[in-house]
Structure 1
C-alpha cells in the first residue's frame, strides 16, 4: 500500500544512503540476532510457515520497518505501511477494504503500523476482527512499552519481539557497508571514527545520515575527533520525557542509589539533565528515595534532600543543579533501610483486612457519662506512671492478633531503633507474664 505515501522515487533521482543500503533479505539485516538468528523466533516462525501477528518494540533506527517489509517478501504477503500519526479512521477503513478484496483474490496482507501506540483504544480495537478472520497479519512498531500502551486484546493476539539498539560492532559493520556503497573510505582517523559511531547512539539510520554528511566533505588527510566535532553537531541522546526513556533512566538512577553506587547514580542523574529533564522532577524523586530506601537508617537524608531542593529553587539552573547532585551523592552513600516502607505497606494491608474494628475500650476517651457506662477508658494505664514509663498495654483492636510490622535493620541509626524495639518487646513480654 505504498500508494498511501505518494509515488516511489524515480530511478534517476538521487536516493538517500539509508534507502540505497536497505537490506534485500533478512540475512542482510545487521544486528537483532536475538530475533533473526537460527533459533530466533522469526526464523522459527518462517521455518514452520506459521508467521503470527507481531509487535516490534525498540528504539528508532534499529530495523523495525525493514524487517517487516522483508517478512512480507519472505511470505508472499502484500506489504502495506501506515503510520498511526498520519492515519485516521477513514484511512483505516480503506486499508481493511483493500485487504479484504486482496484476500478474496487469494493474496494476504501484511499491515505494518508504525508508532502503533499512537492509536487510541477504539482504533486499536478496530484491528481485532481483521486479525481474527485472517484479512491482515498485523506487524506493529512502537518505541514505547507495549504493556502500558497497547490494548490487552491486541497484545493477546500478537507476539512482542524486542529489538535492541545497535552496538558499536553493528554500527561499524554498517559504516563499512556504507563505504563500499560510496566507493570510498571516510576521512577519519580511528578515534574520530569511533566518535562518529558514538554520535549515532545505537541508531542505524542516524549513522547513515552522518556517514553521508562526512563522505561529502573534501578534506586533506584524516580528521581527528576534535575536527569532526567542529564540523558535526553531536546528536542528542534519545530521551522522551513522557516516554519509556524517561522511566528507564529514573529507574536506573533509583536502583543505583539503592545499590549505594554514587558514580552510577550521578551518571544517570546527569543523563536525565542532559536529556532536558525538569530538575524539580528529579528533586522530588531523590527525596522519595530518601524516604523509601533510607528511611530511619539515616533520618538526616530526607533533610539533605529537602534542603537541596530548596537550594535549587533559590538558585535556579544551572547552579542549583549542583545542590541536587550533592543530594544524589548523599543518598547513594547513606545506610539503607526499607523497614518503614515495608511496615507501612503491611499496616495498610492489615487495615484493609480488619475492616472497621474499634480500638480497645480502655484507650478510648469517655467525655460523656453514657460512654463511661459503656466502659470507655476503664483500665487505661497512664504510661508515665508505669514502671520504666511503659505500661505494655494492648493498643490493637480486641480479638486481633498483635502483628509485627516494623522490623528495623542493623544499619545506620536504625541499629539504635532496633535496640529500642527489642527493649520494649522484652518489657511487654514481662508485663504479660505478670498479668
Structure 2
C-alpha cells in the first residue's frame, strides 16, 4: 500500500531501534552474503541494473523488506509496498495503474508484497499480466515454502532466493551497531550477551527489540542470564507447527534416528516438544523410522515404539517423557536396515510392469470341479509335508521366476533372516536342478 504522508510531528516521535538501524545500502545488510556478496545474484543484478521479479523466502527478521527497498533505490525504481494481510485486489489495482503511468514516463516500479503467500490463487493471478508486460517488477516475501504456497504461474515467472536466519556473527555485528547507536555497551554479563544471541533465534529485528527493552527497563546494573530472562520474559522457542519449521525439525529428528545419533535425536525431539509440538507427532515419526530404517534388523524396535506410545497415552506427562526418551534411544541405537522398504518399492515396480500376469495355476485354489478340471491347484505341494516345512516351490509367475525383492543385510536380526533365505534358496536350487 502507498506509504502515508509524513506528519509534522514525525521528527519528534521516537523511532524503534530496528528502524533506526535499517541499512542505508546493500553493503550494510548482514547475514546474506550468498545473495549480496560480490558474486551473489542480487549484486550482479544491481551491477547490471537489471532487476528480475523474485520471491524472498526466509524466516522473520532476515532483511526481506530492507533488501527490496534497497534494490529499488540502487536501480532508480519506484518502491511500492503492499501487505497481503492488510491489502487486497483493490489496493493492487491502484498500484498497477500508478505503475502504468510511471512506466509511460520512463520509470519502472518495484512492487514489494509482504506475506505474499497469504494471497489466494486468484489474487496471485492478478500479478501475472503486469509482470509479463514489465509494468512492475515483483518482489514477494514469504516465510512459507513457495513450492506449496504460490501457484505455478507465479513461480514460473520469478526467481526464488532463500534468505538465511542470521548466524551468531551476523547478530554480533548487529548488536555492535546497536550499542554504537545507543552510545554505550549493554549492561550484560558475557554469558548473558551470548544468551541474547541465542534467544534471537536468527531474527535480527527481534534481537534489536530485546536490546531496546534492556536499555529501557534495566537500571544500569549488569544483568546475568537469569536476570535478563526475567526482564525480557523470554519467548518460547520458534516452532510453527503448521509451517516449514515443523517439517524441518521432524526431518532433522528422523535423519538423526537413521544416522544412529541418539544425542541429536533427543535434542530435536526436545526442541519440538518444548515448543508445543504434540508428542503424538514425535511418536508417529518414531514409528516410521522403526520400520523404514530399522526394519527387520531389529523387529523389536516397532514393538518398543508402539508400547512406549501406548504407555504415554495411558500415563501422560511428566512420566511420559521417560517412555518417549526410551523409544528414541532404542530406535537410534538399533541396527539399521531399509531392506523391507527397498523390497516393497522393488515389488511395486515389478507389479506395475506385470499387472496382466496371472499367478501359477498350481497355487490357485480350486473350490469347484470345473476349476480342478482346468488345472488349478494341480501340483501344489503342501510345505508342512516336507523337511523344515519347505517344499521349494516357485510362487511367482513364470515371467518373474527367481526374482528377489527383499535382500536382508548382515546387521542385527536380519543376519539370521539372510542365512535362512540362503538356506532355502540352496535347497530350492537342488530340488529344481
Indicate whether the TM-score tops 0.5: yes
Partner Cα separation in structure 1 for residue 6 and residue 380 of structure 2? 88
Listed one character per residue, the Cα deviations across residues 196-252 of structure 1 (whole Å, up to 9, x for unaligned) are 121111110001101111112353542222221222222322211010000000000
Partner Cα separation in structure 2 for residue 361 and residue 172 of structure 1? 75
Unaligned residue ranges in structure 2 (runs of 5+): none
Are 2:394 and 2:401, in contact at CA under 8 Å, matched by a contact in 1?
A: no
Distance change in 2, residues 1:121/1:391 (3 Å): same
Are 1:186 and 1:215, in contact at CA under 8 Å, matched by a contact in 2?
A: yes
Partner Cα separation in structure 2 for residue 2 and residue 114 of structure 1? 13
The 3-state SS of whatever aligns with 2:10 is coil
* Pairing of 1:28-427 with structure 2 (within 5 A): 28-427=28-427
With the length of structure 1 as denominator, give the TM-score of the two structures. 0.96
Distance change in 2, residues 1:135/1:416 (3 Å): same
How far did residue 7 of structure 1 move? 5.5
Distance change in 2, residues 1:321/1:388 (3 Å): closer
Are 2:217 and 2:231, in contact at CA under 8 Å, matched by a contact in 1?
A: no
How far did residue 415 of structure 1 move? 0.4
The 3-state SS of whatever aligns with 1:161 is strand
Listed one character per residue, the Cα deviations across residues 357-383 of structure 1 (whole Å, up to 9, x for unaligned) are 221111111111111111111111122
Are 1:117 and 1:142, in contact at CA under 8 Å, matched by a contact in 2?
A: yes
Q: State which drifts further: 25-34 or 88-97.
A: 88-97
Listed one character per residue, the Cα deviations across residues 146-165 of structure 1 (whole Å, up to 9, x for unaligned) are 22222222222111111111
Are 1:279 and 1:321, in contact at CA under 8 Å, matched by a contact in 2?
A: no
The 3-state SS of whatever aligns with 1:216 is helix
Partner Cα separation in structure 2 for residue 252 and residue 35 of structure 1? 25
Aligned residues: 432
How far did residue 79 of structure 1 move? 0.8
Partner Cα separation in structure 1 for residue 355 and residue 97 of structure 2? 56
How far did residue 65 of structure 1 move? 0.4
Partner Cα separation in structure 2 for residue 168 and residue 232 of structure 1? 20
Are 1:200 and 1:235, in contact at CA under 8 Å, matched by a contact in 2?
A: no
Partner Cα separation in structure 2 for residue 41 and residue 117 of structure 1? 23
Distance change in 2, residues 1:28/1:432 (3 Å): same
Are 2:189 and 2:224, in contact at CA under 8 Å, matched by a contact in 1?
A: yes
Unaligned residue ranges in structure 1 (runs of 5+): none
How far did residue 176 of structure 1 move? 1.2
Partner Cα separation in structure 2 for residue 325 and residue 332 of structure 1? 10
Listed one character per residue, the Cα deviations across residues 309-328 of structure 1 (whole Å, up to 9, x for unaligned) are 01111112333132112111
**Alignment root-mean-square deviation, CA:** 1.6
Partner Cα separation in structure 2 for residue 233 and residue 267 of structure 1? 23
Are 1:171 and 1:197, in contact at CA under 8 Å, matched by a contact in 2?
A: yes
Listed one character per residue, the Cα deviations across residues 280-299 of structure 1 (whole Å, up to 9, x for unaligned) are 11111111110111111111
With the length of structure 2 as denominator, give the TM-score of the two structures. 0.96
Partner Cα separation in structure 2 for residue 418 and residue 350 of structure 1? 22
Are 1:68 and 1:139, in contact at CA under 8 Å, matched by a contact in 2?
A: yes
The 3-state SS of whatever aligns with 1:79 is strand
Partner Cα separation in structure 1 for residue 218 and residue 380 of structure 2? 92
Partner Cα separation in structure 2 for residue 85 and residue 96 of structure 1? 18
